[in-house]
Amino acid sequence: MFLDELTPMVRELTAHPVAFLGGFFSGLFRLDLADDPVKSWLDQQSGGSGYVSPQPSSNGNGSGPQSISID
């Protein structure tokens, strides 16, 4: 049923309403948490720990995309 699929979302909404709605609206408006003014606002709200953007993983070559030829 359709209500069974919405149950986890409603459960999260009732458990943590501010965090849920903040994440919902940031996704709705496509806000990037690493950009100002969102980043500075998050720093103020969390006491300065802030959002740390994930660093791209390095697989050893560091040269980006490579071309290959297949015979």
12 — pLDDT class (breaks 50, 70, 90): confident
58 — pLDDT class (breaks 50, 70, 90): low
Query: Which residue type, as a one-letter code, is found at position 45?
Result: Q
What confidence score (pLDDT) does residue 60 get?
A: 57
What confidence score (pLDDT) does residue 50 get?
A: 46
Indicate if the pLDDT at residue 4 is higher than 80. yes
**pTM: predicted TM-score of the whole model, two decimal places:** 0.39
Write the pLDDT tens digit of every residue in 16-56: 888 788 888 888 888 777 777 777 776 777 765 545 555 55
Report CA Rg, the chain. Answer: 19
Give the separation between CA 57 and CA 18, rounded to whole angstroms: 32
CB atoms within 10 A of CB 12: 14
* 7, 15 Cβ separation under 8 angstroms: no
